[in-house]
Structure 1
Amino acid sequence: MRLSTARIAPIADHEITPEQEEVLAPFRDAALVGPGIANIFRTLARAPKALKRFNLWGSYILGASNDLSPRDRELIILRTGWLCRSGYEWVQHVRIGLAAGLTPLEIERIKAGPDAPGWQAIDAAKLRATDEQVREHFISDASWAALASFTDKQKMDLVFTIAQYTQVAMILNCLGVQLDAGQTLDSDFPTG
């Protein structure tokens, strides 16, 4: 976590306007962290029109229209969250990644990146592409070629997913969105 307190506080139930309730309604008891609305959505609800549009793109990235498998999607989201030092993103997506088929060992390996021992070549290629896009805002020709088993649409979805979650990480980090109740940050997570 970059910040120990929120710069923009999550909206409390008693503050919610009808417009905010409309954009928050799908998140009530829906799931990220159990009953209630997760801090990311309570924070973004302070700009309800932005949250509404944010959710449209986010539902593409996390939905069935994205041609990445859920496991591949979570692999690159977790690597993006790690590289961007977004503790909130990391904590949320560890749970989601496990449900999508990542193993605890793979999640540990994500921290070390594409050169960690044990990755299959295609997983290393996905992680390397993620590292390059996050750090250089570009995927090299060599890394692109290593994704040869991907369709063009899967390559596009990989780029879209990394870009979306880099944006999410920046929002979370800059606004200081704090972990939801009952969550704990991984002790290995880089801070500051």
Structure 2
Amino acid sequence: MRLTKPRIAPVQDADLTPDQKEILEPMGERVLNIFRTMVQAPKAAKGFLAWGNYVLSRRNDLPAREREIVILRIGYLCKSGYEWTQHHAIGLREGLTAAEIEAIKQGAAAPNWSPADRALLKASDELHNDQFVTDGTWAALTRHFSDKQCMDVVFTAGQYTQVSMILNSFGVQLDAGQVLDPDLKGF
């Protein structure tokens, strides 16, 4: 985690405005710190949630396991302990193994990736480092994914770069019961 305390405090239930309650109510009883923080700017939170819901929905044509490879790689590259922690559990639910999640830290150079997974990792690295997917990596992606899925790789990487910047800069802390990956301590 980059910060040990929030710069923007998450809103507690007793302090929610009507606009904030409206945004958080559909989330049920366990509202994550990211959303409690985002509702400090209700209009921004609404827009953020609309786009974020697309990226995490079935409207995103990238299969969930592959989507999580991109999200986890971006979260790791951005040194976002909160993002990594949340999506580590999601990645496991979506079919990644613990060993694969650990290998995401190494990126495309880690052994045992399929060519499709390697292309996703390379695209994530390129988008993070240069905000551009090279011709060679794009060609590798198109061997395994449709044009729409390739677009969704870029949309997903962009969304989770933004999420990581929000989490890191606002100091969003882990939710109760979560443990920070030791490789993301001290950033």
Show CA shifts across 1:148-174 (max 9, x none): 221110000000000000000000000
Corresponding position of 1:124: 118
If the length of structure 2 is used for normalisation, what is the TM-score?
0.97
Show CA shifts across 1:54-84 (max 9, x none): 1100110000100000000001100000000
Question: Does residue 26 of structure 2 align to residue 21 of structure 1?
Answer: no
If the length of structure 1 is used for normalisation, what is the TM-score?
0.95
Corresponding position of 1:151: 146
Alignment of 1:163-174 (within 5 A): 163-174=158-169
Q: What is the one-letter code of the residue matched to 2:82?
A: Y
**Mapped partners of 2:64, 2:129: distance in 1:** 23
Deviation of 1:12 (Å): 1.0
**Mapped partners of 1:187, 1:173: distance in 2:** 16
- Secondary structure (helix, strand or coil) at the match of 1:188 reads helix
Deviation of 1:122 (Å): 1.2
Deviation of 1:190 (Å): 5.2
Contact 1:85 1:191 in 2 (8 A): no
**Mapped partners of 1:74, 1:98: distance in 2:** 9
Task: Count matched residues.
Answer: 186
Q: What is the one-letter code of the residue matched to 1:117?
A: P
Q: Give runs of ≥4 in structure 1 deviating > 4 Å.
A: none
Q: What is the one-letter code of the residue matched to 2:43?
A: K
Identity %: 56
Alignment of 1:4-153 (within 5 A): 4-29=4-29, 36-148=30-142, 149-153=144-148
Q: Specify which structure has the higher proportion of helix.
A: 2
Corresponding position of 1:180: 175
Corresponding position of 1:32: none
Q: CA RMSD in A?
A: 0.8
- Secondary structure (helix, strand or coil) at the match of 1:123 reads helix
**Mapped partners of 2:186, 2:88: distance in 1:** 17
Alpha-carbon spacing, 1:137–1:40, altered in 2? closer, same or farther (3 Å):
same
**Mapped partners of 1:147, 1:13: distance in 2:** 44
